[in-house]
Amino acid sequence: MASRSSQPDRPARPAGRRPAAGKRPGADSRAGGAPQGGRPSTHRPPQPEETTGLDLIYGRNPVLEALRGRRRVHTILLAAPAPDAALEAAIRGTAAKPAVKHLTANELAARTGTSDHQDVAALVEPYPYVEPERLLATRTLLVALDEIQDPHNLGAIIRTAEAAGAGIVIPRHRAAQVTGAVVKASAGATEHASVAMVRNLADFLQGAKEKGFWVYGAAAEAKAPYTTQDYAYPTCFVIGSEGEGIGRRVASVCDAMVSLPLAGKVSSLNASVSAAILLYEAVRQRATGAGEKEGTSPPFAKGS
């Protein structure tokens, strides 16, 4: 696995012609997206905070992980008489002790815009996105999200990527960003994950290729099964948006499109499920040295 704090040892990208990216996947059957519309969101926009410039997160695990993570927690909002033991221990472990403010459950629901707050929320520093260049320098496994808009999908993907040691790349526009709902969906994994925001995803992917990454797009109708590729090399998976899949220009930058087998009647997998399967196939291959031993066929000629 790639080191999280230093330049990893990475196999050189073989020379040779890139595979054809193929035509843009059809919008009606995506390996990287949920059916049109995705999961309906029950999250309502929270009330404006009187402390400007801070993010509002909610839920027990999100607040715990924020206390253990990179950004400062300014205020904890409690709809309970006292913090539980784990939360109390996390508060004691912080260098800058946050203030604790007590609210009723209804007041906290109004503040967060949801009843799914588990009696705790927090005002925290804005989310610390990492620089794309740092992501390319410190990771050899990435997942890039092409206009994923459902905060539940984004949160689930971030949780899986963090667990797999992968970095996450999201576009600045027309996509979900790391909000309180995303932090909650990730169960706080956002507080330890490396997430980069880029202005143009296709340009980022082209730059990643120039740094030695191979870029694989997920598409249900792709001819190459995901298990036939070698992910020992620096790898970036691209997951398309809910309903629309991978955009034409982003698809054109991909080295190859790969598919996940669908034996049932549904035409696609949820975006977060597709991301998890692909990421952990790369983890498996790297942990076992499986690629060539299991007869995978990279989309390039080694040694050419």
Cα separation values, 68 from 118, 156, 197, Å = 19, 20, 23
Tokens linked to 111 = 């503040």
pTM above 0.85, yes or no: no
Q: Angle CA(21)–CA(23)–CA(25) in degrees, nearest 5?
A: 105
pLDDT of 13: 60
Helix axes 85-92, 60-68, angle to 10 degrees: 20
Cα separation of 23 and 271, whole Å? 20
Domains annotated on the chain, with CATH: 55-124 (3.30.1330.30), 132-293 (3.40.1280.10)
Cα separation of 153 and 165, whole Å? 18
List the pLDDT tens digit at each of the 304 positions of the chain.
443 333 445 555 655 555 444 444 433 334 444 333 444 444 455 444 544 689 999 999 999 999 999 999 999 999 977 778 888 888 888 888 899 999 999 999 999 998 889 899 999 999 999 999 999 999 999 999 999 999 999 999 999 999 999 999 999 999 999 999 999 999 999 999 999 999 999 999 999 999 999 999 999 889 999 999 999 999 999 999 888 889 999 999 999 999 998 888 887 889 999 999 999 999 999 999 876 544 444 554 333 2
